[in-house]
Structure 1
Amino acid sequence: MIKPQDEGSAYNEYFSKINKELKENGFGKPVVLLDLDRLDTNLNTLSNNIPPPLHYRIVVKSLPSLDLLRHITKSTKTNRLMVFHSGDIVMLLSDPDFSSFDILLGKPMPVRALEEIYKKTKSEKFQKIHWLVDTETRLTQYLEFAKTKNIKLHLVLEIDVGLHRGGFTQTKETNLALEMITNYPNHLEFDGFMGYEPHVASVPNLLGDKNIAIEKAIGSSLSLYEGFVTSGKEFYPSLFNKELILNGGGSKTYRFYKKNNKIVNDVSVGSALVMPTDFDVSTLAEHKPAFYIAAPVLKRLEGTTIPFLEFISFLFPLWNPNLQVTYFTYGGAYLAKKESPTGLFDNSLYGVSTNQGILNGSRKTNLQPDDYVFYRPTQSEKVMAEMGEVVLLRNGKIIGTWKCFIN
């Protein structure tokens, strides 16, 4: 009853086709694959779930490739970006395709970062950015910076709608911030609020429908959000006489803003378009995994022979059929989970290696040298940036590559 069962199986049709293509036309090295057919399916799903008057904002950090961003902007017809890194801001403002886009910061920046960005960008472009402010202290720092440079900063206030990761927690705090903005119209301008709520996707639900529980949690967050907006309008109506950014959502929750939402008008999504494993949640069941790591097999050895334990190594596969074969791969220790063939696992006695990964499996995995092991990354930004480029697939065929940038 405790003897391990054989967990191995060969490629399914999808990965068999890609493996054949990589062996015939690939690069003989680990690569990130981007399935454009699946990406486009996800883009269609996204567009259907963000109908007007909701606006879609691309999360740049999760999709770190200018070519990928161009593809997404063309498909979704958006000119809104959420940016998290100072280097990305400089890069985007210097690119003619993105320099006029609407850029909202996804996290508050140290004032020193503003200084560096200001030095590297033209003043008129710099002043169009929506800077995120989370405390009165940061607001004061930004005001002093704006005075020193004799410029006006456009500000969005970060509000806590239940995540408890910072931001203004009470309306009296945001009202003090709005008072300061009102007092310095030549240097500060109020552009809206941002309330991030990924916690609702993890709402405890012992009984009933998980999605219903999430909808209720979204409702609670929106109620908090509405309180900030209502209070601001009451005490500082002049700041609300234009269309503001009322940003919310995220990959795990964006589709719930399609209905029963009268507050948020700007929804940010990134990772849901390529679906790393960290986003395998019920709210994204419509989305398809669209990117993988593929690493060539360098060596195949029968059995599992451990240094200093050679004399008993023949026993390992007799007990555990998943130790029948040892594979050494080109590269390893990826921020990813094994996807295909199924049943492969790291050898804990050898440990992991970024040079030659070692995997065990049963003979049913059926790999030979020059075949590929496919991994599904746990997140997108770090993996894409580290690999440097993505290899593009259409109908299982390589059609080109896109360069990635480092955040």
Structure 2
Amino acid sequence: MDIKRRKLILGGLALGAVAGVTALRPKAQGQGGHSDYFASVAKALDSAGFSGPTLVIDRENLQKNADILTGHLSGHYDYRVVAKSLPSLNLLDVISKRTNTNRIMVFQLPFLQQLVNSYPASDILLGKPLPIAAAKAFYAAPRMGHFDPSQQLQWLVDSPRRLTQYASLAQSLTQTLRINIEIDVGLHRGGVANAEDLAAILNLIQRQPQLEFAGFMGYDAHAAKMPGILGGPEKAITRGLDIYRSRVEQAKAQLGEAYPKVVTMNAAGSPTYQLYKPHAGSAPCSEIAAGSCLVKPAGFDIPTLSDHRPAAYIASPVLKKLSQTQIPGIEGLTAPFSWLNPNREQSFFISGGYWKAEPESPAGLSINPIYGRSSNQEMLNGSSKVTLNEDDWVFLRPTQSESVFLQFGDIAVYSKGEIVDLWPVLANT
């Protein structure tokens, strides 16, 4: 092969390689600044004098989501609001009134202690088994109002060992403890998974007069993400309901006439509650628990919640704007990195960060995977199409609500172009 031909081939290969890399480059994202909606929220925050990371709730979307949930339940199931996903008394007020319920599901001792004082007429079900030390602390603490744990509170247990601990506590208190039994309906994250354990639990309840069987709880978050090759969500729900039904039948047979006339049969969760609609009237459960669907974090963008609206955002101001993205130690690769991905061209450092959240507005922002995360000054990147300046607001969408909502102090409530209220969050200690 002569030299000219070799150069021609090598040149062609080089051009092909460049063309290939160019074709694989992502397109520059972004359409300038905020949409009209987020521009309105930003203006409202400025008018109200906010200057740091803030959690914002859209009141209209929150209320609309509550109406959507109520419409799906259609009176076939009672509704129990999940406090961990809506950790604010004001949030719980809005939802409980909008959905006409006094039923609350609680997952942690600090929330339980606050809620029994704030909602003395509530019906509370624990959403997970608490250590016996937490139960002891609850009864040792003074309570205000007229909340009666022996009538209004159900402790969740999922093993004979846990129930033995609660039985000893009931004896020491000389007080009735209502016991709800968690059953494994397919999630395999605890819960009674066999007839032998259930029989042992029921037997202990029968022997201990200060324990009262109150019902069952079966959580099925796995069902919403069950792939079609395994039968899909509908089949997973059907399997779970079959398990649920068998546990109920076993309890009725074992307890006989002692089986209560009124029991709590709790099921579902935000990802799956709509899947229960076809089973209305035939399902062994009688109430549905949900919370996150009412604010719809990004982690709940799933088909079963397609009609719900996002109602919660994190707002944070831009502290610094840089026209390039430099990675410490490899500054010489700044230009190549920017060419390979035009969406890394600009850098914006915001106040705070490292939340369980995704950039939402302006469109086109992303977290840099090489630079690293920061809870003090998070870097966000954007192409030249993204228009932001220092002191402008960036909006992120939480991927969950339960831990994220507690990180910002009071919640700013947005309604029709204004911040209309501040809602304190529940204390978690």
TM over 0.5: yes
Partner of 2:88: 65
Partner of 2:290: 269
1:230 paired to 2:249: yes
Partner of 2:42: 19
2:320 to 281, 284, 299: 299
Tell me the alpha carbon deviations over residues 191-226 of structure 1, each in whole angstroms, 9 at most, x when there is no partner.
11111111111212149xxxx832222111111111
How far off its partner does 1:292 sit? 0.4
Asked if structure 1 preserves the Cα contact closer than 8 Å seen for 2:87 and 2:406, the reply is yes
Q: Distance in 2 between matches of 1:121 and 1:132?
A: 22
How far off its partner does 1:324 sit? 2.8
Q: Distance in 1 between matches of 2:225 and 2:336?
A: 44
1:386 paired to 2:412: no
Q: Distance in 1 between matches of 2:398 and 2:35?
A: 19
Partner of 2:30: 8
Q: Distance in 1 between matches of 2:193 and 2:248?
A: 13
How far off its partner does 1:347 sit? 3.0
2:110 to 65, 82, 87: 87
Tell me the alpha carbon deviations over residues 18-52 of structure 1, each in whole angstroms, 9 at most, x when there is no partner.
22322333401110010011111100100001122
Q: Distance in 2 between matches of 1:312 and 1:175?
A: 66
Task: Give 1:374's aligned amino acid.
Answer: F
1:118 paired to 2:139: yes
1:345 to 366, 372, 381: 366
Identity %: 40
How far off its partner does 1:85 sit? 0.5
Tell me the alpha carbon deviations over residues 327-354 of structure 1, each in whole angstroms, 9 at most, x when there is no partner.
1211121210111112212234432222
Partner of 2:154: 130
Q: Distance in 2 between matches of 1:83 and 1:398?
A: 29
3-state SS of 1:381 partner: coil
Q: Distance in 1 between matches of 2:247 and 2:402?
A: 32
Q: Distance in 2 between matches of 1:308 and 1:213?
A: 48
Asked if structure 2 preserves the Cα contact closer than 8 Å seen for 1:257 and 1:264, the reply is no
Deviates more, 1:218-227 or 1:238-247: 238-247
- Gaps of at least 5 residues in structure 1 are none
- Gaps of at least 5 residues in structure 2 are 1-22
Task: Give 2:240's aligned amino acid.
Answer: S
Task: Give 2:180's aligned amino acid.
Answer: V
1:253 paired to 2:277: no
3-state SS of 2:378 partner: strand
Q: Distance in 1 between matches of 2:39 and 2:368?
A: 25
The count of residues paired between Structure 1 and Structure 2 equals 400
Partner of 1:158: 182
Q: Distance in 2 between matches of 1:351 and 1:162?
A: 37
Q: Distance in 2 between matches of 1:92 and 1:232?
A: 31
1:108 to 108, 113, 129: 129
Q: Distance in 1 between matches of 2:232 and 2:342?
A: 42
How far off its partner does 1:183 sit? 2.2
1:175 to 199, 207, 215: 199
Task: Give 2:30's aligned amino acid.
Answer: G
3-state SS of 1:168 partner: coil
Asked if structure 1 preserves the Cα contact closer than 8 Å seen for 2:219 and 2:267, the reply is yes
Q: Distance in 2 between matches of 1:191 and 1:3?
A: 59
Q: 1:177 to 1:318 in 2, by over 3 A?
A: closer
Q: Distance in 2 between matches of 1:53 and 1:311?
A: 64
Asked if structure 2 preserves the Cα contact closer than 8 Å seen for 1:90 and 1:121, the reply is no
Map of 1:325-364 to 2, 5 A cutoff? 325-364=346-385
Partner of 1:38: 61
Task: Give 1:247's aligned amino acid.
Answer: N
Asked if structure 2 preserves the Cα contact closer than 8 Å seen for 1:251 and 1:272, the reply is yes
How far off its partner does 1:232 sit? 1.5
3-state SS of 1:250 partner: coil
Tell me the alpha carbon deviations over residues 89-124 of structure 1, each in whole angstroms, 9 at most, x when there is no partner.
1111222xx122000000111111111111014597
2:226 to 190, 203, 209: 203
How far off its partner does 1:307 sit? 4.1
Q: 1:366 to 1:184 in 2, by over 3 A?
A: same
How far off its partner does 1:303 sit? 2.0
Task: Give 2:249's aligned amino acid.
Answer: T
Q: Distance in 2 between matches of 1:119 and 1:60?
A: 22
1:402 paired to 2:423: yes
Q: Distance in 1 between matches of 2:45 and 2:102?
A: 35
2:75 to 52, 76, 83: 52
Q: 1:144 to 1:16 in 2, by over 3 A?
A: same
In our comparison, the structure showing a higher alpha carbon Rg is: 2
Q: Distance in 1 between matches of 2:147 and 2:104?
A: 18
Q: 1:170 to 1:259 in 2, by over 3 A?
A: same
Task: Give 2:424's aligned amino acid.
Answer: K
Q: 1:258 to 1:313 in 2, by over 3 A?
A: closer
Normalized against structure 1, the TM-score is what?
0.93
3-state SS of 1:7 partner: coil
Partner of 2:9: none
Q: Distance in 2 between matches of 1:158 and 1:327?
A: 47
3-state SS of 1:373 partner: strand
Asked if structure 2 preserves the Cα contact closer than 8 Å seen for 1:190 and 1:239, the reply is no
